[in-house]
Amino acid sequence: MRYVAERHAALTARSRTLHQGWQDEVERAGRANTISLPWLNHCLRGVVNRDTLVISEYSFRQEYCPLDAPGGLFALSTAGGLGWGFPASLGAKLAAPEKMVISVLGDGAYMFANPTACHYTAQFQNLPVLTVIYNNSLYGAVRRATLDMYGSGVAADGNGRLLADLGAPAFEKIVAAHNGHGERVERPADLPAALQRAADAVRGGQQALVNVVCPP
């Protein structure tokens, strides 16, 4: 019993330290000049509840946005491929029309999903979902593979962005072309309100997209 009590105390202290570290990280992120992954996930807490389904094809992190309901999070399996997330969110909305469905995607995952076809389907099948793009203008997997394989070669020049740079398309205009609500956000302070406006649009029956610019 003494061992159990000591282990419980140690794990409790470790958990408290971790939670404090995450909170400190979020506070620093909120004061920063650019949006980071912790801040984006933290701000999602304002639009997520027990009736939300989160479809993640990027780094959705529950330490910043905890989910309480079983079956509230679906993510790409190891057998999946780039572009799964957006159409999966449409399937989730079709299966559970009463729920708020949020699709959290990287910019590369969004582009590989054929977004025009997805937004078209959402419009004509009346499947209002909220798409949140973590936009670092980069194919992160391509960059990592380039640096791993050719870290000292020409392809690694510019920190491996040569074959991975996406530029900065105006993704918010793609959803607008399908009668959706679209916003581009670049400052941390603007993100909570933008996500709330987008969530309100979805609850009103309109698909929405928030293009969150997060410099790498």
Angle, alpha carbons 170-209-143 (nearest 5°)? 60
Q: Which residues contact 81 (CB under 8 A, 6 or more apart)?
A: none
- 121-143 confidence digits (pLDDT tens): 999 999 999 999 998 876 666 66
Annotated domain spans of the chain: 1-31, 34-213
Q: Of 67 and 96, which is predicted with more confidence?
A: 96
Instruction: With a cut of 60, say whether residue 22 has pLDDT above it.
Output: no
Instruction: Record the pTM.
Output: 0.84
The mean pLDDT value for 180-186 works out to 97
Is the pLDDT at 149 greater than 80? The verdict is: no
Sign of CA dihedral 84, 90, 94, 100: positive
pLDDT of amino acid 48: 94
The SS3 of residue 169 is coil
C-alpha span between 183 and 192 (Å, rounded): 12
Give the tens place of pLDDT for each residue, 87-113: 999 999 999 999 999 999 998 889 989
Coil, strand or helix at 133: strand
Mean pLDDT, all residues of the chain? 85
- 173 and 182 Cβ atoms separated by less than 8 Å: yes
In the numeric block, which tokens belong to residue 186?
């670049």
- Which region, left, alpha or beta, applies to residue 77 given φ > 0 means left and ψ of -120 to 50 means alpha? beta
Domain 34-213 CATH (choose: 1.10.10.60, 3.40.50.970, 3.40.1160.10, 3.40.50.720): 3.40.50.970
